[in-house]
Amino acid sequence: MPTGEGESSLKNSIAIRTGNLCRHYPMGDALIRAVDGISVQVSSGEFVALLGTSGSGKSSLLNLIAGLDRPTSGTVVVQENDLAKLSRQELAKYRLHTVGMVFQSFNLIPSMTLLENVELPLRFAEVDRGKREGLAKQALDRVGLSARLRHRPTELSGGEQQRASLARALINQPKFLLADEPTGNLDSQTGTEIMNFIREFNETLGMTIIMVTHERTLAERYARRMIFLADGRLVGDQSNAVSAGAAQERGGRL
């Protein structure tokens, strides 16, 4: 699919829609308005960067979309499901099958090998024992970690750990990849490596990507749309022509 046309075709189906979404929580006497009335739509197949300074509410918004947190008010509708109305059980199923998450601090379970870490969502999904190992190996192979299956996270570099967590995020073939500062703990070279994987998932698998970052340059380089947050409010939303160019440039190189 030519990447230039992508931008227009994406608008066809709305995958995520928030309506006046709020997430407030008390801290001492004060009320923290982490997310304060955000209405935004994300189409299927988009690569969106959530930008803002720390405390701007970008991670809180991501957690609401991830179904890890529940809104104080407003709606967050993903594929026509209002997450606020789902039961805890249904929300867990949503996290299991619909979204994959990647974190700044990788969040692999240290007591498990990479293979076991990647296999874990398959256990929750009650995939047969026999199939699990093959699927997990395939996912790790995709991120170039075939040689590290039996290693524990602590025995690996940050880049390798983040690749493993990408493999884990992909294992249940979700439609959405939610990444919270995925390169925040990495040097620029390994950061680029990870970002290239994420872009690849967006382009070849058609995954919708929402990435939280505070690095504008990173967003400009990879994302096609940038949403700016400040104090829990939406302060800017622009598509990113540069990103499309960068993708094309990269495509030309390959």
Q: Which of 13, 73, 111, 146 binds another protein (CB under 8 A)?
A: 111
CB atoms within 10 A of CB 230: 15
Residue placing its CB nearer to another protein in the complex, 9 or 124: 124
Determine which residue in the list 101, 140, 194, 219 makes contact with another protein, applying CB under 8 A: 101
How many residues in the shown chain lie near another protein by CB under 8 A? 30
Q: Which of residues 40-79 bind another protein (CB under 8 A)?
A: 63, 66, 68-69
Beta bridge partners of 49: 211, 226
Choice from 1, 31, 92, 235 touching another protein (CB under 8 A): 92
Q: Under the criterion CB under 8 A, does residue 173 sit at the interface with another protein? A: no
Among the listed ranges 121-129, 188-196, 204-212, 235-243, the one in contact with another protein (CB under 8 A) is 121-129
Which of 3-11, 152-160, 165-173, 238-246 is the region at the interface with another protein (rule: CB under 8 A)?
A: 165-173
* 124 contributes a contact to another protein by CB under 8 A: yes
**Beta carbon nearer to another protein, 102 or 219:** 102
Please identify, using beta-carbon distances, which residue of 63 and 183 lies nearer to another protein. 63
Binding site for another protein (CB under 8 A): 63, 66, 68-69, 88-89, 92-93, 95-97, 100-101, 103, 105, 107-109, 111-112, 120-121, 123-126, 129, 168-169, 172
